[in-house]
Chain A
Amino acid sequence: MSDLTETTELGDGHYDQPNEAVKQSVDHAEHEADDPRHIDEHPGDHWTDMQFVYLALFLAAVTAVEVALSYTIDFWGPFFLPTLLALMLVKFFSVVFYFMHLKFDNRWFGLLFYMGLVLAIGVYLAALFTFRFFDA
């Protein structure tokens, strides 16, 4: 970064002040990361097609495990429901983070989505508690 702002020799032994445009450019680059409007070129931003294929295969495998669990409920006992819900959440957030790109996108997009998601979970959990769903 410092080589961009170094002074320029004018040939007569004097050095010019750093070019204003260069200073602005460097300031811009340095403050891009802090600017909420800037979307970083994150190293993991763009997955390759093969990485998406691997993720899809992983999700298919998790689905197969879920189905296998549903056929062996007696074996898993009290661990069946928490395990199944955990696998469901793994699949859910894998799609949201990577296929929907939310992990690498601007946080405002995530905020809008999570607001709806959290509101829905809160409202409907309250409704289910009101109707004594969990007592049953």
Chain B
Amino acid sequence: MADTAVHAHDDHAHGDHHDDHAVHHTSTGLSNNKLAMWLFLGSECLLFGGLISTYMLYRGRHSENLGPDQVWDIPFTSASSFVLLMSSLTMVLAVTAARRHDERNTKVWLVLTALLGSMFVAGQIYEFTTFYREGLGFTTSLFSSSFYTLTGFHGVHVTVGVIILLSVVGMMIKNRIPGDKPEVVELVGLYWHFVDIVWILIFTLVYLIPA
């Protein structure tokens, strides 16, 4: 019994490479990478908070016939939201597969997440093009400027996320991920889910609440 306890202790102390919840050998005992990612996401709240509040201030500053109520296509944007929401599911499934050290499924879920993210970006490009053809340019009004800046910044974040996802898959195929693979996938997942929660706010505050 005593031996079992001692071995259990040793396993805990030396098992960092295969236990996601082991104490890391850092001054805090936590993964510095994960701390940095959460700090980054906290700072991103300030960026998107500024863009959302700017949009809220200027949403009424438009001409008679080119306001939110005239240009929004709610069914289309709802479908885009559903796609992004499902990409969060595939991302979390990639993270759980990575924790199980199931590399094949991790890659499959990451590629699916990238595909869904690409679909969302494609939808946003289509939406922007449609609005532009209807006469809503970037400098048409304060409403259009703040709308394109907010949703454009979000679209850039999704695009960067897709690039990161595909890069991670490429690195996994070439076995070039340094250190803890599950943690790398988890960090990418945190970024991706953040992009999703920002869209949850944008979808409600920008599209569903009438001006």
- B208 at interface (Cβ–Cβ under 8 A)? yes
Closest to B28 in A: A37
Q: Is B168 an interface residue (CB 8 A)?
A: no
| A116-B41 contact in complex given A52-B93, A121-B49, C-beta closer than 8 Å | yes
In the complex the two chains form, what is the Cα distance from A46 to B197 in whole Å?
A: 21
A133: CB under 8 A from chain B? yes
Query: A67 to nearest B CB, angstroms?
Result: 5
Chain B contacts of A36 at CB under 8 A? 29
* Chain A residue at minimum C-beta to C-beta distance from B44: A116
Q: How large is the interface on B (under 10, 10 to 19, 20 to 34, 35 or more residues)?
A: 35 or more
CB-contacts of A52-95 with B (<8 A): 52-53, 55-56, 59-60, 63-64, 66-67, 69-71, 73, 81, 84-85, 87-88, 91-92, 95
Closest 8 CB pairs of A and B: A116-B42, A37-B29, A120-B49, A56-B89, A124-B53, A88-B204, A116-B45, A112-B38
Residue ranges of A at the interface with B (Cβ–Cβ < 8 Å): 3-4, 8, 19, 21-22, 24-26, 28-29, 35-41, 45-47, 49, 52-53, 55-56, 59-60, 63-64, 66-67, 69-71, 73, 81, 84-85, 87-88, 91-92, 95-96, 99-101, 106, 108-110, 112-117, 119-121, 123-124, 127-128, 131, 133, 136
